[in-house]
Chain A
Amino acid sequence: MVTKTEESELKNLEIQVDNGGGGAWEYLSLVRKLKVRRSDKVLKHGLSILNDSKLRSKLGADEWTLYEQVAVAAMDCQCLDVAQDCTKALRKRFSESKRVGRLKAMLLEAKGSWEKAEKAYSSLLEDNPLDQIIHKRRVAMAKAQGNISGAIEWLNKYLEIFMADHDAWRELAEIYSSLQMYKQAAFCYEEVILAQPTVPLYHLAYADVLYTLGGLENVQTAKKYYASTIDLTGGKNTRALFGICLCTSAIAQLAKGKNKEDKEGSQLQSLAAKALERDYKQRAPDKLPQLTTALKSLTLSS
């Protein structure tokens, strides 16, 4: 995850470069370092550097890194001729390079020739079975073709080797959620939380999945995770506030016959309701009556 300072630095550089100030190369290096996806800007500014032969020669050896970065950005923006030119330039310079081979295969994938790309990726992986990027591209290709079960299979195989890659776990969790395989999604979200326990996004997603699974225990756990999201975001996350209200009413419904402790729950729910009302008053005052009726129905049904 990108830190706040890095994000603000990136934004500043972006504004600066967009408005004609210098610093394009620093912006591109920062994008490369943080691995963020800003393909249109990278393409625009990268091409402006590459087309200007003076700036290009100033880069020296970094010129080829820039070629690679612009090629990938061009493929992302579907400017395939630009990507092909960059790949050709790289191929002329480094003819026997694995990285260039990878770019060629990615170009095939971008064009849509799936079988050829698949063959290219498999042969690249035979030479170098530990290239994470190629594994991930295979998963992405399966996903793009709509072959979700194939994507799951490839991703599982990838995770068998690289099981500490939390981004991959997150991707798997989202795929499972989209397929409504919530138990597996919960497992994957647990892995992600283990890797990065203080990111509220994952707590929220895990709570969503648990709430969707249903059942008294799951909903109680979900409520706890919504509470932790509120704690981690300082009460600003609207979805978590709604989650608390829904969970409390669901627990009350499910536990009607069991007569469990409900005094601590109601305080959290009333607090969350008040926070929601305040939030709506500030940001969307015309929706406030809808909110109050919805909340009232929740408390009534509990």
Chain B
Amino acid sequence: MAEDLVLDTAIRDWVLIPLSVVMVLIGVLRHIVSKLLRSSQTPDIKIVREGQVMLRARNLRAAANFIPSKAFRARKLYYCNEENGLLFVPKGQATNPQAQMFSDPNMAMDMMKKNLSMIIPQTLTFAWVNFFFSGFVAAKIPFPLTQRFRSMLQNGIDLSTVDVSYVSSRSWYFLNLFGLRGLFSLILGEENAVDDTQRMMQMGGGFGFDPSKGLSVEKDNLDITQHDWALPNFEHHAEDVLKRVIS
């Protein structure tokens, strides 16, 4: 069980490095293609306005202690008023952002393009890896693993006695998939189309930009905010500052 398999350096030269290089190149290619295919998004005026309202409400919450309490209370009322407050969205009208996104043809096309550009290269590369690089041990993971991981990491290897630390090239592919994200953000700048994991997280946790829910969240947060005027403290600080200046 604990024998040390000696892996041929040819594996490193002909499997690990080419696989990484190919993934980097495919990533760059995807980025360029997505830039070419990207349709200009004209943001809707309502969405912009709601975004700005949320920003303003967030500023109010953050810096509430810097303005007099009367001003704060007036603003709180303005935002959270039940009938026509800025942040109030009546229950029926809360536009389901999912439905909205699908009904808007531009956005649907955009999403489809993004999804396709993510799925197709991944599938192709995965199939390529499986076809060419299966059936042998590719690398050794430096830390020991339990037997559970055998089916996941040792897929092409049909020997059940080999230590689970020896993995197939499929797991190297997955490692690269998640690990090259950092490299891409260095090469391609922050907003690149290869950030699959980010998008996957976004899709998993509900749609990213969620106007109606965002507003009610802001409203609740604002309702809770207490006002603790910080200015009297400033007066004491100012005295200390002046004392230091004079002395």
Interface segment out of the listed A41-49, A148-156, A267-275: A267-275
Interface segment out of the listed A26-34, A104-112, A225-233: A225-233
CB within 8 Å for A231 and B63 given contacts A130-B45, A161-B52: no
Tally of A-B Cβ pairs under 8 angstroms: 97
CA distance A223 to B64 in the complex (A): 19
9 A-B contacts (beta carbon < 8 Å): A130-B48, A161-B49, A164-B52, A224-B231, A227-B231, A228-B234, A267-B239, A268-B235, A268-B239
Q: Which residues of B contact A230 (CB under 8 A)?
A: 238, 241-242
Q: B139-158: contact bitstring with A at CB < 8 Å (1 yes, 0 no)?
A: 00000000000000000000
Interface check A162, CB cutoff 8 A = yes
Q: Please give the distance in Å from A6's CB to the nearest CB on chain B.
A: 20
CB within 8 Å for A195 and B234 given contacts A235-B242, A268-B239: no
Q: Which residues of B contact A194 (CB under 8 A)?
A: 56, 59-60, 62-64, 66-67
Q: Which residues of A contact B59 (CB under 8 A)?
A: 164, 194-195
Interface check A193, CB cutoff 8 A = yes
User: Would you list which residues of chain A between 174 and 201 have a CB under 8 Å from chain B?
Assistant: 187, 190-191, 193-195, 197
Q: Is the interface of A mostly helix, strand, loop or mixed?
A: helix
Minimal Cβ-Cβ distance residue in A for B45:
A129
Closest 6 CB pairs of A and B: A164-B55, A228-B234, A227-B238, A271-B242, A235-B245, A224-B231
> Would you call B246 and A271 a contact (CB within 8 A)?
yes
Minimal Cβ-Cβ distance residue in A for B68:
A221
Among candidates B60, B67, B234, B246, residue contacting A231 with C-beta atoms closer than 8 Å: B234
Q: A135-168: contact bitstring with B at CB < 8 Å (1 yes, 0 no)?
A: 0000000000000000000000000111111000
> Would you call B239 and A271 a contact (CB within 8 A)?
yes
Q: Please give the distance in Å from B90's CB to the nearest CB on chain A.
A: 20
CA distance A136 to B159 in the complex (A): 71
Interface check B204, CB cutoff 8 A = no
CA distance A129 to B52 in the complex (A): 15
CA distance A194 to B64 in the complex (A): 7
Interface check B179, CB cutoff 8 A = no
CA distance A235 to B45 in the complex (A): 45
- How many chain B residues touch A (CB < 8 A): the figure is 32
Interface check A239, CB cutoff 8 A = no
Q: Please give the distance in Å from B157's CB to the nearest CB on chain A.
A: 51
CA distance A190 to B241 in the complex (A): 25
Minimal Cβ-Cβ distance residue in B for A277:
B246
Interface check B180, CB cutoff 8 A = no
**Contact surface of A with B, Cβ cutoff 8 Å:** 128-130, 160-165, 187, 190-191, 193-195, 197, 221, 223-225, 227-228, 230-231, 234-235, 244, 264, 267-268, 271-272, 274-275, 278
Minimal Cβ-Cβ distance residue in B for A228:
B234
Interface check B53, CB cutoff 8 A = yes
CA distance A82 to B163 in the complex (A): 75
Interface check B200, CB cutoff 8 A = no
Q: Please give the distance in Å from B35's CB to the nearest CB on chain A.
A: 15
Q: Which residues of B contact A272 (CB under 8 A)?
A: 242
Q: Please give the distance in Å from B56's CB to the nearest CB on chain A.
A: 5
Residue among B45, B52, B68 facing the most chain A CB atoms (10 A cut-off): B68
Q: Please give the distance in Å from A10's CB to the nearest CB on chain B.
A: 24
Among candidates A187, A197, A227, A274, residue contacting B63 with C-beta atoms closer than 8 Å: A197
Q: Please give the distance in Å from B243's CB to the nearest CB on chain A.
A: 6
Q: B15-58: contact bitstring with A at CB < 8 Å (1 yes, 0 no)?
A: 00000000000000000000000000011010011001101100
> Would you call B234 and A224 a contact (CB within 8 A)?
yes
> Would you call B234 and A190 a contact (CB within 8 A)?
no
Minimal Cβ-Cβ distance residue in B for A195:
B59
Q: Which residues of B contact A197 (CB under 8 A)?
A: 62-63, 66
